[in-house]
Amino acid sequence: MAAEIENGKTLSPEQIAEAEKYKNEANEYFKNKVYEKAIEFYSKAIEIDSSNAVYYANRSLANLRTELFGYALNDAVSAVKSDPSYLKAYYRRAAAHMSLGKFKLALSDFEVVSKRRPNDADAKKKFVECNKIVKKMAFERAINVDRPEKTLAEMYQSLESISIEDDYTGPKLSNEETVTLEFMKELMQWYKDQKKLHKKYAYKILYDIDAYLRKQPSLVDIAIPDEGKFTVCGDIHGQFYDLLNIFEKNGLPSETNPYLFNGDFVDRGSFSVECIFLLFGFKLLFPNHFYLSRGNHESINMNQMYGFTGEVTAKYSSTMADMFTQVYNFLPLCHLLNNKVLVMHGGLFSSDEVTLDDLRNVERNRQPPEEGIMCELLWSDPQPQNGRSPSKRGVGCQFGPDVTENFLKKNNLEYVIRSHEVKDMGYEVAHNGKCITVFSAPNYCDTMGNKGAYIILKGKDMKPQYEVYEAVPHPNVKPMMYANSLMNLIM
């Protein structure tokens, strides 16, 4: 049977068969979690038959799995347009909207499906779950209007008198004491043995790090001595045992072994609590030799969807989850190394006029906006071609080699380091060596098969050296275990 395509031409049986062949090959890649190849073959099918809703819906899901939320949304919209009766297309559009924190739009798609299939228990369940999220968010907004938000210090005042049970044998701090190296070593082993830091000390670390971060600028200047070593790590995403492996390979943080972790410490991986307390602890121990940049996942929408909020609530309390939201708002947005190298989580900007002073002046105490400098620092990605393009993620922008070159020239810089994207070798050098990506979560989500990497710099020449490593075993706790239940249903 022939099929009509958008330009009015009729596809031959051979063309239909070829498109289906590409789709079936893509399906196999998808089953084997080789998502980039799946996207490639779905695209080949779409090139032949651009009116097939199934091809768009399938590619939408593959784009979701690789966090290309903008592309996923575009594909879902195309699927709905191609066949408004194809209900899976509405699920895909809902998933893309949820990934972007647009829960009301997701709810309208679930409503379409539940109305068309009133007896479908699965459709009803998804509608009900999404409706709960929307109502909860509306309720929280309403009570926040009527009730002044407590500062983290005020929250902590009611918690610092917590007693320590007699049977607790883990790491301890006195009320007056900040973290020590001995405490940090004990904590690493305690977490490695899958035990929980007592809530009294967890709350204290949060209180202390909040007090410190509030005094920091949005852009932090770092001086690296000529003979000094400096390590830059990318996304960790709750992969605690891989974080320990970095310290095993590269040495513990110290005044002679400084680190910068470049955002996305949490979410997806189910040991995010362990990761963040370890990182915050080392920041308190070595404030001038251990640095943390905010990533796009240090935000409330991402945390609610991808697991961190659920994990904190399960291991501690919803109050602590609220505390983290406040702390994340004060994380610096970028770091300048030896006045030569700018490090940020996402990337560059939709304007050629952005200067380092603009970055210093960003008001960061907020949730990431959907546009502007702060948004782009957290969300943007490089592209191989010159110019700029709409973001494949639906937030931020994509920027080409010319954009990077112009920014570096304007600000008298040598290159930029960013993270934010999975890379097969854990790193990628782009834009004529001027834009480097580093990603430090190997075998991301236990599915991607990528290596992890970190970058070592020496102050005298700032030439990057790349250390690549494989994932290490971890306890049988699956990624996304604490993610929003609806996200697991539709992904």
pLDDT in tens, 140-157: 666 565 555 677 877 777
Residue 484 is predicted with a pLDDT of: 80
434, pLDDT greater than 60: yes
* 413 within domain boundaries: yes
The dihedral sign for the CA sequence 162, 292, 310, 365: positive
Question: Would 225 be classed as within a structural domain?
Answer: yes
What pairs with residue 343 in β-bridges? Answer: 335, 417
pLDDT band, residue 163 (cuts 50/70/90): confident
User: Domain containing 137: what range?
Assistant: 3-143
Average pLDDT, the chain: 92
Listed residues 100, 118, 143: the one ending a domain = 143
All residues at 6 or more sequence positions from 370 whose CB lies less than 8 Å from its CB, including other chains: 395
Residue 18 lies in a domain: yes
Q: Stretch 75-94: mean pLDDT, rounded?
A: 95
pLDDT tens column, 15-65: 999 999 999 999 999 999 899 999 999 999 999 999 999 999 999 999 999
Residues 187 and 44 both lie in one domain: no
Q: Mark whether 101 and 248 lie in a shared domain.
A: no
442 and 477 part of one domain? yes
Do 307 and 166 reside in the same domain of the chain? Answer: yes
Integer Cα distance of 442 and 449 in angstroms: 7
The answer to whether 198 is a known catalytic residue is no
Task: Provide the pLDDT for residue 157.
Answer: 74
CA dihedral 315, 317, 318, 324 (to 10 degrees): -70
Residues 85 and 205 in one domain: no
Q: Is 466 exposed, middle or buried (0-12, 13-18, 19+ CB in 10 A)?
A: middle
CATH number at residue 169: 3.60.21.10
Q: Are residues 344 and 261 in the same domain?
A: yes
CA-based nearest residue to 334, from 326, 325, 342: 342
pLDDT digits (tens, 9 = 90+) for 374-392: 999 999 999 999 999 999 9
Residue 148 lies in a domain: no
Whether 331 and 384 map to the same domain: the answer is: yes
Write out pLDDT tens, residues 339-349: 999 999 999 99
Within this chain, do residues 200 and 136 fall inside the same structural domain, yes or no?
A: no
State the pLDDT at residue 126. 83
Instruction: Tell me: do 114 and 206 sit in the same domain.
Output: no
Cα–Cα nearest to 231, from 206, 214, 210, 253 = 253
Evaluate whether 365 touches 383 at the Cβ level (below 8 Å): no
pLDDT of 328 > 90? The answer is yes
Whether residue 1 has pLDDT greater than 60: no
Query: How far apart (Å, rounded) are the C-alpha atoms in residues 427 and 424?
Result: 7
Answer whether residue 5 shows pLDDT above 60. Answer: no
Q: Among the options 97, 237, 289, 297, which is catalytic?
A: 297
On whether both 53 and 179 belong to a single domain, the answer is no
Q: Are residues 132 and 180 in the same domain?
A: no
Find, among 369, 370, 378, the residue nearest to 263 by Cα. 378
In a domain, 151, yes or no: no
Contact 388, 431 (CB under 8 A): no
Residue 309 maps to a domain: yes
- CATH number of the domain that residue 127 is part of: 1.25.40.10
Q: Quick check: 2 pLDDT over 50?
A: no
Please indicate, yes or no, whether residues 122 and 178 belong to a single structural domain of this protein.
Answer: no
Q: How many domains does the chain have?
A: 2
Tell me if 472 is assigned to some domain: yes
Integer angstrom CA distances of residue 262 from 94, 439, 471? 30, 9, 19
Question: Over the stretch 201-226, which tens digit does the pLDDT of each residue have?
Answer: 999 999 999 999 999 999 999 999 99
pLDDT at 123: 80
pLDDT the model gives residue 152: 81
**Residue at a domain's end among 83, 114, 143:** 143
What is d(CA 22, CA 381) in angstroms, rounded to the nearest whole number?
A: 29
Between CA 99 and CA 301 the distance in angstroms is 9
In a domain, 171, yes or no: yes
What is the SS3 assignment for 427? strand
**Residue 384 confidence (pLDDT):** 97
Last residue of a domain, one of 112, 143, 174: 143
When pLDDT is averaged across residues 329-348 and rounded to a whole number, the result is: 98
